[in-house]
Structure formats: structure tokens, C-alpha cells
Amino acid sequence: MTTEQYLTFQKFTDKASALELADLLKQNYIDCKFEDTSGRVDLTFSNSEAIKEYRVKLRKENFEAANNLLLQLTAQQLENVSKEYYLYEFSDEELTEIIHKPDEWCKLDYLLAQKLLKDRGREITPELAETYKKQRIQELSEPERSQKGWIIAGYIFSFLGGLLGVFIGWHLRYHKKTLPNGDRVFAYSIPDRKNGYNIFIIGIISFVCWLIVRILSGPYLW
């Protein structure tokens, strides 16, 4: 089984937490891999190279089992949550928002939000929670907003013969995101991906042309 067949399940900035999750999954016979991705270059610049990042990866078919395991273990902690916990101050609408977007919250917050709503007479049935989950997957499947800035930069760098333009084009054309259920979808819209492909091709051609010119021009241009 190659590393490419494992998808990111959770990201951490703390190595011990990532290893703890990996050990927990293995103890429950869920195949996983731990990966240190600190220092990798991110073309979106959403993460700094200085920030530590560790990933626990699973095969797609194990995402549901892993999520169910974590929910089961977290459910055992609900009765021990202090009344001072910040979710107790949330309104019904804010608690419902957590259930709508479980990927943005920890498992404890997700389950506690359901419990609090039930205690307040606004129970979220399993069927309704499943409906919310499907709606959220559909929302997350939508492509990211238009990448006009990166497209312009990509064309500029590509025509100048820089490899950065090639990388930007490749990222726009081929980058995928992993959904909470393990599905993989293209991150950007079809028009942006078409621009990414053009940038990628132009960048390669331009780089080769500039390389040939420099070679033929002798050492003085190097």
C-alpha cells in the first residue's frame, strides 16, 4: 500500500497529539500513517514553513470507522464536562451551527451541542444530523472562490520563464481537497483549472526557451 493511497484525516501542530491519535486508531485496528509535513512549501501560502505540521492519514474506506470511533470515545466524556464550558453560553442558533459544520469543531463540541439542544427541547434527531452532514459535504465539494490573483501571477511568472509559474499552474489545475468523508474533489473551478493548465504549459515552454537562449548565448548571461 503506497503513501499516495492514504488521505489526510487530521492535521496537528503538536507531534504528541498526532502520534496519540495514530496509536489510538492502530489499537482499534484502523490502518493509518503518521506523516511529518513541517516545512513543506505551500503555494497558497496558507501555512508558514516555520509552523510544525503533522498529519494522520487513512485510506478512504476507513474514514467512517475512524470518525465513529472518535465519536464513541468522546460520548463517554460528555457527563464530565464542566458547566463552565464555553458551549453552555451558546444560543440555540449557535449550537445548531456547530451541528451544521462539524468539520470546523472538535468531536466534543459536536456531541455536546446536540446534548444541550436536546436538554433545551430542540433535539436533533440522528436522521436530521445525517441530513446536515450530507449538506455540509455538498457545500465543501464546491470549488474555492476565483483565484484571479494567482492566475495573473501565474501568467506573469510563466512568460518570464520562471518555474514558479509552472508550480502555480500545476497547483491550480490538479490540486484536490479531501472531504470529511474521505472523498477527493478538485479544489478550483473549471475556468480556474483551465487557466492553470495554460499557465503550466506556457511556463514549461517559456522555461525551455529561456534555457536554450542562455545556453546558446554563452557563459556571459549566466
Express each pLDDT in 38-88 by its tens digit.
Answer: 866 454 545 444 578 999 999 999 999 999 999 999 999 998 899 999 999
pTM for this model (two decimals)? 0.75
How many Å apart are CA 106 and CA 111, to the nearest integer? 9
Locus of grid cell 499557465: 199
Taking the mean position of all CA atoms in its chain, how far away is CA 183? Answer: 11
Check residue 49 and give its pLDDT: 45
**Nearest partner of 151 among 194, 122, 180, 113, judged by Cα:** 194
The reported pLDDT for the residue numbered 131 is 94
Closest by Cα among 13, 88, 84 to 52: 13
Dihedral sign, Cα of residue 188, residue 192, residue 197, residue 201:
negative
With beta carbons less than 8 A apart as the criterion, state whether 181 and 141 touch: no
Cβ partners under 8 Å of residue 218, min gap 6: none
Query: CA-to-CA distance for 44 and 39, rounded, in angstroms?
Result: 14
Q: What per-residue confidence (pLDDT) applies to 2? A: 46
**Per-residue pLDDT at 221:** 52
Q: Tens-of-pLDDT digits for all 222 residues of the chain?
A: 444 589 999 999 999 999 999 999 999 999 999 999 886 645 454 544 457 899 999 999 999 999 999 999 999 999 889 999 999 999 999 999 999 999 999 999 999 999 999 999 999 999 999 999 999 999 999 999 989 999 999 999 998 887 899 999 999 999 999 999 999 999 999 999 999 999 999 999 999 998 888 888 766 555
What is the C-alpha separation between 192 and 138, in angstroms, rounded? 20
CA-nearest of 51, 53, 54 to 33 is 54
Question: What CA–CA distance (Å, rounded) separates 32 from 65?
Answer: 12
Nearest Cα residue to 69 out of 9, 129, 112: 9
